[in-house]
Amino acid sequence: MIDLIGGVPLFVLEFGDELVYFTPYTITLFLLALTFTLLVLISRPERQIDIAFGSDAYRAKEISVSEMRFRRFMAIACGLATMGAMVTGDIFNFTLFTAMVGITNVGIVAAVKSKHVQDAAYQYGLVALAATVPLFAGAAIYAAVTGSLSMIELMKGTVPAVPLIAKGMLVLGVIGEGMAPFYAAKAEMFRAPGAPYVIMCSLSSLLIFLRVVEIVMLG
């Protein structure tokens, strides 16, 4: 128990299949996601301004209210999915929340009426869709080897050791869903106007990557 990266769980809630626990590590990540979701909820979106190079001319991009409303909804959904992924103690629930982060990340920029942003979002969506294969496969191998999906059981160390391939697949899936360490791949998406919402793409993928590090160290 000493070498757990997340520390000893402070609080464990077992409600049927649903398992939620907080460690000092996950509570930090959870609070970060919560704070940012609240920020998205209350903040007013930016107005992006293009400046013509070499002159004083500039123009502000007009964005419709309905588009902004949709993107705010997607950003909040993304925040909720991220919070779920931070607190859940069940491997399969974690993969589902991660997949939802992937969908909402695409959704945040999908409403933007700009060709290059939509192209980028589509290609990123393809990667996210492909990443569900190793993600779910990793969780299934976890269940096949240990007979349980509970992270608390994994922590106890009484179940058989999880094979490296299952851990690798889980990490690969999370990388694909969130593109966590490869932000350059999402650069075109970040060019979409609407500051607080777009940052949610980046933050959520960072958080799910940090969480999967903890999960992989458990078994």
Judged by the rule CB under 8 A, the positions of this chain that interact with another protein are 92, 96, 99-100, 102-103, 106-107, 110, 115, 118-119, 121-122, 125-126, 128-130, 132-137, 139-141, 143-144, 149
Q: Give start and end residues of each alpha helix (H) in 147-194.
A: 151-156, 164-178, 187-190
> Of 100 and 208, which has the nearer Cβ to another protein?
100
> Of 32 and 127, which has the nearer Cβ to another protein?
127
Smallest distance, Å, CB 108 to another protein? 11
Smallest distance, Å, CB 96 to another protein? 5
Smallest distance, Å, CB 124 to another protein? 10
d(CA 45, CA 39): 11
Contact present, 73 and 197 (Cβ < 8 Å):
no
Contact present, 36 and 205 (Cβ < 8 Å):
no
> Of 28 and 150, which has the nearer Cβ to another protein?
150
> Of 7 and 125, which has the nearer Cβ to another protein?
125
> Of 135 and 218, which has the nearer Cβ to another protein?
135
Q: Which tokens belong to 157?
A: 């160390």
- CA separation, residue 86 to residues 79, 119, 144, 211, 215 (Å): 11, 30, 24, 6, 11
What is the number of other CB atoms lying within 10 angstroms of the CB of residue 64? 10
Contact present, 204 and 79 (Cβ < 8 Å):
yes
Smallest distance, Å, CB 143 to another protein? 6
> Of 27 and 154, which has the nearer Cβ to another protein?
154
Smallest distance, Å, CB 62 to another protein? 19
Smallest distance, Å, CB 56 to another protein? 34
Q: 161: exposed, middle or buried (C-beta count within 10 Å: 0-12, 13-18, 19+)? A: exposed
d(CA 86, CA 34): 10
